[in-house]
């Protein structure tokens, strides 16, 4: 059964991520575009899609504390240097 509340929540998440698009990794940007197309019309939400959008928002927050260029750095590097206090 279609749940308008879930659909509205996913559309809100998509909107937030659209505004933060420059901070997304290439694979996240690709997923965002795919989900934006998928949910252009009201349909039943896949819980995995909603979770993926929340993870992308969380990843942006996590990357804020690291020296990380989303255009140049590899997506799987774990041991990244922290920003100096002056950069924050």
pLDDT of residue 63: 79
Mean pLDDT in residue range 44-61: 92
pLDDT in tens, 61-72: 887 777 666 666
Mean pLDDT in residue range 68-79: 62
Helix, strand counts (H, E) of the chain: 3, 0
Q: H/E/C letters for each residue in 38-53?
A: HCCCCCCCCHHHHHHH
Q: Is the pLDDT score of 55 beyond 60?
A: yes
Percent of the chain with pLDDT over 90: 51
**Considering the entire predicted model, what is its pTM?**
0.72
What residues does each domain of the chain span?
Answer: 4-87
- Residue 44's pLDDT band (boundaries 50, 70, 90)? very high
Question: In this structure, are residues 56 and 15 in contact, taking their beta carbons and an 8 Å threshold?
Answer: no
């Amino acid at each position: 059964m279609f749940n308008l509340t879930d659909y509205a929540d996913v559309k809100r998440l998509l909107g937030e991520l659209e505004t933060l698009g420059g901070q997304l990794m290439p694979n996240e940007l690709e997923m965002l575009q795919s989900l934006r197309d998928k949910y252009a019309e009201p349909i039943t939400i896949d819980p995995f899609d909603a979770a993926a959008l929340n993870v992308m928002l969380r990843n942006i927050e996590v990357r804020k504390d690291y020296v990380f260029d989303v255009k140049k750095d590899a997506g799987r590097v774990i041991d990244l240097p922290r920003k100096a206090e002056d950069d924050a």
